[in-house]
Amino acid sequence: MRKFLVAGNWKMHGSRASVAALVEGLLEQGTMPCQTLICPPVIFFDQLQRQLVGSSIGLGAQNLDWHDSGAYTGEVSAAMVLEFGCSHVLVGHSERRSLFGESDAQVGLKVEKCLSSGLTPVICIGESLAQRQADETFAVVQRQLDAVIRQVGVTALRHSIIAYEPVWAIGTGESATPEQAERVHAQIRQYLAKQDESLSQNIQLLYGGSVNGENAADLFAQENIDGALVGGASLKVDDFLRICRAAV
């Protein structure tokens, strides 16, 4: 039986004060109703690690460099995020791919570094609007998945999470319908089943793209959707809690 996970991607938002208030709001409601992760900018890790002591909310990074250390200005290593209690890392988010030129091969290297460091990668994959319109959705998703599998092998995905995030639905307010999302999730599971049946049954497949308190329950009712990667709505206590409650 797969567990639901709701992960909040805070992107480049927040200040000391707003971050403290947001987490206080989440903690006030007691134990989180489902497995919950927040992915703040790493600059807030120290503050949040202290604030989250005793809570079930996990801490994730939004990115990671695959090198151990060295002259990589602006980058953050696996060892660094681990020191602050980080358990998960978003890898290959579409904003990293499109705005920072992250390639499929680099995504593979980052996943490999996460796995060898004991971090769980949340591997983000998804098609653009033009690719969907050209009927290339699964070809794109498959290409992105294959790059990771080539690097780490399919079995290593047992310790990974996949987030299907159609690029056209991210930050647009236009979520995929539950049926559209479920179709791709089922295709991903079937594709993995051909390579490793038990992995395909156990791996958590999150949906991401304009998930909010209104649409979460319908998305979570789909057989192959095991939770959500949430951007905008994860910055609002009430909305984020509503999404987490819908995952029970």
- Given 93, 95, 127, 182, the catalytic residue: 93
- Given 95, 127, 165, 182, the catalytic residue: 165
**Total number of residues shown for the chain:** 248
**CB atoms near residue 173 (< 10 Å):** 9
CB 44 within 8 A of CB 85: no
Burial class (CB in 10 A: 0-12, 13-18, 19+), 68: exposed
For residues 78 and 63, what is the distance between their CA atoms, to the nearest angstrom?
10
For the CB of residue 219, give the shortest distance to ligand PEP in the complex, in Å.
Answer: 12
> Which is closer to ligand PEP, CB of 111 or CB of 200?
111
Tell me if 171 is assigned to a ligand binding site.
yes
For the CB of residue 176, give the shortest distance to ligand PEP in the complex, in Å.
Answer: 10
Tell me if 232 is assigned to a ligand binding site.
yes
Residues forming a β-bridge with 90: 122
Tell me if 66 is assigned to a ligand binding site.
no
CB 186 within 8 A of CB 145: no
**Residue 93 bears catalytic tag:** yes
> Which is closer to ligand PEP, CB of 60 or CB of 200?
60
Task: Write out the residues near ligand PEP by the rule CB under 6 A.
Answer: 9, 165, 170-171, 208-211, 229-233
For the CB of residue 235, give the shortest distance to ligand PEP in the complex, in Å.
Answer: 9
Which phi and psi (to 5°) does residue 125 adopt? -140, 155
Nearest residue to ligand PEP, scored by beta-carbon proximity: 231
Write out the catalytic residue numbers.
93, 165
Residues forming the annotated binding site for substrate?
9-11, 171, 210, 231-232
